[in-house]
Amino acid sequence: ISTLPVELHCTIFLIGQDIERSEHEMFDEEGIERLASPFEVRMSHVSVLWRDMALNTGQLWIDIIVQPGYSPKRVETYLARSKQCLIDIQLRNCPD
C-alpha cells in the first residue's frame, strides 16, 4: 500500500470520507459527531506516511460543524489544514 502514488491515497481518503458520511446520514443526521473521531482524524493517526498525506489533503478538512461544546482550537486546526480550499461551515443547535 505504501507504494501507491500519493495522489491515489488522497483520492481514496476522500472517497472513504464520503462513504462514511453518507452511511451515517442515512441512519442519523448527527451520526458523524457521535463517532469517537471524524474519518479524517482517524486516517491521520494510522502511520507517519498517512498522517503526512492526510494533513496535506486540504479537501479532507473543509467540513466544519460547530455545535455546543465544539472546540475553537479544532476550528482553527481545520481552517489551517484546509489550506486554500473552499470550506463548508455548519452551525448546529447553537443558541440564538
Model pTM score: 0.77
pLDDT of amino acid 46: 94
What is the per-residue pLDDT for 36? 66
Q: How far is CA 72 from CA 30, 52, 58, 59, in A?
A: 19, 23, 19, 20
How confident is the model at residue 56, as a pLDDT?
A: 95
Domain spans of the chain, in order of start: 6-91
pLDDT digits (tens, 9 = 90+) for 48-63: 999 999 999 999 999 9
State pLDDT tens for residues 5-48: 999 999 999 999 998 887 665 444 554 455 568 899 999 999 99
Rounded mean pLDDT of 58-73?
89
Measured between alpha carbons, how far is 93 from 8 in angstroms, rounded to an integer?
37
Q: How far is CA 82 from CA 52, 54, 85, in A?
A: 14, 11, 6
